Amino acid sequence: MDISRRGRRSRHLTFRTCGTLLVTAGLLITGCSSGSSTAGASMTSLSHAVPAELAPYYGQKLSWHACGVPGFQCASMKVPLDYAKPGGGDIKLAVARKQATKKSGRLGSLLVNPGGPGGSAIGYLQSYAALGYPAEVRARYDMVAVDPRGVARSEPVTCLDGKRMDAYTQTDMTPDDERETEAVRTAFKEFAAGCRAHSAKVLPHVSTVEAARDMDVLRAALGDDKLSYVGASYGTFLGATYAGLYPERVGRLVLDGAMDPALPARRMNQDQTAGFETAFQSFAKDCVTRDEECPLGTESPQDAGKRLKAFFAELDRKPLAVGGSDRRLGEALATTGVIAAMYDEAGWPQLRDALTSAMKNKDGSGLLALSDGYYERDGDGKYANLMFANAAVNCLDLPPAFDSPADVRKALPDFEKASPVFGEGLAWSSLNCAYWPVRATGGPHRIEAKGAAPIVVAGTTRDPATPYRWARALASQLSSGRLLTYDGDGHTAYGRGSDCVDSTINAYLLKGTAPEDGKRCS
């Protein structure tokens, strides 16, 4: 299983993580360039003036051309590989846009990012945002996306081929003895070695700080004085980082499904583990009321959790066959499949069906399909870049949660308390960055963004991947943060069916009317 430390947007993009199942939530660097940081410090903003050595990047003109999906335009943008050494080489970032549908009343560009880290912002724009965002928002903004460095179309990090990734995603994350523990360690080492072998040039330069600096170059290239932005999940950390670096250039920022940059990796992963447990309890509470439709029984959510854990243990001993394939469904892939469905309650019926097929009919194809979607594995056995970029960003942004298997074992009681169902596997997944070939350049820190215009921070009370407490924490750190609470299930709030949330964010994006801090919606 592989759920990395960062949250991923689930509705309009499949989610992911970084370890073997946990979207690891590593955070960033304090200060303005790749370098060491002090835990607990506050991020320092950059100078208002553009340094002379960066002027060619800020002054570049984007050459737009038709691409792929009708109505979209694409371009490439140059940025320095290393902002500390702007003359040391460039990398190209892919940019896409869909222009505002009205010529009058245009408000500028609205940059969007779906999270990850590792999610393709261009893919998100073309598949959802440019069509699914409210018509009045699309009418007045050019909808814009850039794939961050190391992601998808922008100098993508690559690590393992399809066969080796298949083996990696099946690694047993609940080791029973030293042999299985060594297998976990070996899997993480081989993954890291693959990334180093195939992506040595870009690997030290995919931090969130560098991606945020790229966003400011894009802002200038688009001709906008200030940045307007909607970021979901990890995208909130990217947006908050931008605000911390360039508070005077903040336009209208929406940070939906927020992360807390002040947390170290272990606490981040433990909080996320508790978030998945909360989401599972909501699923189980619904499931047990459905009589024969619920494969986990009809007694109580707690009993449903025990049944699921027992099923995982059974798969650990004897993986299930998958019809029409030579693949097997073991505990790791099954756990990933269940967690994938936790991001959105709309996925609960599919999960019930998949669990019924696996538990009653011994057919693992439904859970395997959920897992493959999470990992972005296609029918030919090829994996998208998402999991590679996810690990690369996370392991650069924060020091590892654990340094050794012994550290994981000591922490197991805390993780299993956070989630009796998922705790053990997510604890072991948190070991992945211990073997990363590039030393972390970031650390836990506060982001205050003093002087920034009002920033809307949205949090969902039962969010599995970015627990609600993180939204409260980020809103309290930001000097101009306005907390918007959605009392509900699933990952993120905007565009999930709450008229209250949507109208509040739309009013902010279109009129600049920020909600009162602490507003609640359902």
> Which two structure tokens, joined as six digits, stand for 314?
């059974």
Q: What is the pTM of this model?
A: 0.93
197, 355 in Cβ contact below 8 A? no
Q: What percent of the chain has pLDDT over 70?
A: 92
Nearest Cα residue to 339 out of 13, 14, 12, 118: 14
Is pLDDT larger for residue 1 or for residue 228? 228
pLDDT given at position 40: 61
Does residue 480 carry a pLDDT above 80?
Answer: yes
Cα dihedral 487, 491, 493, 494 in deg (nearest 10):
-170
Which helix (H) or strand (E) element contains residue 111?
strand 108-113
pLDDT given at position 18: 31
pLDDT in tens, 254-264: 999 999 999 99
pLDDT given at position 1: 62
> Which two structure tokens, joined as six digits, stand for 308?
């699921």
pLDDT given at position 324: 79
Beta strands in 223-362 (DSSP E): 227-232, 250-256, 320-321, 328-329
Name the pLDDT band for 20 (thresholds 50, 70, 90). very low
Nearest Cα residue to 43 out of 202, 205, 207, 206: 207
> Which two structure tokens, joined as six digits, stand for 415?
């993780």
DSSP string, 170-197: T--SS--SHHHHHHHHHHHHHHHHHHHH
pLDDT in tens, 457-471: 999 999 999 999 999
Whole-angstrom distance, CA of residue 474 vs CA of residue 239: 11
| Given the residues 2, 142, 256, 463, the one annotated as active site | 463
Domain that holds residue 500: 1-522
Name the pLDDT band for 27 (thresholds 50, 70, 90). very low
38, 28 in Cβ contact below 8 A? no
Give the CATH number, domain containing residue 385: 3.40.50.1820
| Catalytic residue flag (residue 214) | no
Whole-angstrom distance, CA of residue 110 vs CA of residue 222: 10
pLDDT in tens, 139-168: 999 999 999 999 999 999 999 999 999 999
Q: Is the dihedral of CA 260, 262, 264, 270 positive or negative?
A: negative
Name the pLDDT band for 335 (thresholds 50, 70, 90). very high
| Given the residues 282, 491, 498, 502, the one annotated as active site | 491
Residue spans of alpha helices (H) in 36-153? 55-58, 121-124, 130-132, 135-140
> Which two structure tokens, joined as six digits, stand for 246?
């360039």
SS3 assignment, position 302: helix
**Number of domains into which the chain is organized:** 1
**Residue in the structure block whose two tokens are 């009002």:** 454
Overall average pLDDT of the 374-393 stretch: 97
Residue type, 171: T
| Given the residues 45, 199, 228, 233, the one annotated as active site | 233
Nearest Cα residue to 456 out of 410, 504, 412: 504
pLDDT in tens, 270-324: 999 999 999 999 999 999 999 999 999 999 999 999 999 999 999 999 999 997 7
Which of 24-38, 381-395, 422-436 has the least mean pLDDT?
A: 24-38
| Catalytic residue flag (residue 65) | no
> Which two structure tokens, joined as six digits, stand for 24?
């690891």
| Catalytic residue flag (residue 233) | yes
Whole-angstrom distance, CA of residue 174 vs CA of residue 60: 51
